[in-house]
Amino acid sequence: MADEIRKPILDRLAALVAGPFLLGREAVSLAFRPDKAAPPETPPDLTPLRLTVTPPEHAIKRRG
């Protein structure tokens, strides 16, 4: 009987300690986000995630 009462208290204690620790770590990681540099052995990506769309040079538009 005593064991059954003691166990939740231990769990609650663990949560009381771990909760703020995890939340704090998340908050710190948001404030100081490390740069995600690719590892040196990664080849340069030939395909950019977004393509740059540029207007044509010297072209004359009909209307718009």
Partner 1 sequence: MKTRLPEHGPVETPRFWRTLEERIETPEARQAAHDEFLPGGVPSGINYDDVHGLPPQSGVSRRDFLGLVSAAAALAATVACDRKGQGTVVPYTKRPVEVVPGVANYYASAHQEGRRVYPVLVKTREGRPIHLTGNDEHPGVKGKTSPRTMADVLRLYDPDRLRAPKSEGWVVGWPEAESRLHAALKGAKGAGKPVLLISGAVASPSRKALLAEFKAALPTLEHLAYEPVAGDAAEEAAKASFGQPVYLQPRLAKAKVILSLGADFLNGEDPEALGAWGAQRRLKNAHDPINRLWVLEGPLTLTGTNADQRFPVTPSRLGAAAFALAKELAAKGLPLPAGSDLSALSTGVPQGVDIPAKAWTSLVKDLRAAGRNAVVLCGAQMPAEAHQAAHLLNAMLGSEAVAAVPAEPLATVKDLEAAAQKMASGAYAAAIFWDVNPAYTFPQAAAWKAAVAKVPFRAWIGQVEDETAAQCQVLLPESHWLESWGDFSTPTAAVLQQPAIGTLYETRQGEEVLLDALKALGAAVPEAYHAYLQARWKKELPLGTSFEQALHDGLVKVEAKASSPAFKGASVAAAAKRAAESKAEGLELVLFPGFATHDGRHANNSWLQETPDPISKMTWDNPVALSVQDAKALGVDEGDLVTLSLDGVTLRLPAVIQPGQAKGVLALALGYGRTTGGVAKGVGVDAFPLLGLDPTAPNVRKGVRLAKAGGRKELSRTQSHHRMEGRDLVRSLTMDEFAHNPQGHHHTPELVTLYEEQRFPDHKWGMVIDLAACVGCSACIVACQSENNVPVVGPEQVARGREMHWIRIDRYYEGELENPKVVHQPMLCQHCDNAPCENVCPVNATNHSPEGLNQMAYNRCVGTRYCANNCPYKVRRFNFLEYTAYKTEPETLAYNPEVTVRPRGVMEKCSFCVQRINDVKIRAKGDGRAILDGEITTACMAGCPSDAIVFGDLKDPKSKVSQLVAATRAYRVLEELGVKPAITYLADLKNPALEGGHHEA
Residues that bind partner 1 (CB under 8 A): 30, 46-47, 49-51, 53-64
CB of 55 to partner 1, least distance (A): 5
Cβ 46 to partner 1 shortest distance, Å: 6
> CB 53 → partner 1: shortest distance, Å?
4
Q: Quick one: tokens of 61? A: 């538009």
Q: Which residue has the tokens 């909760």?
A: 19
Q: Residue 4 or residue 41: which is nearer to partner 1 going by CB?
A: 41
d(CA 19, CA 32): 20
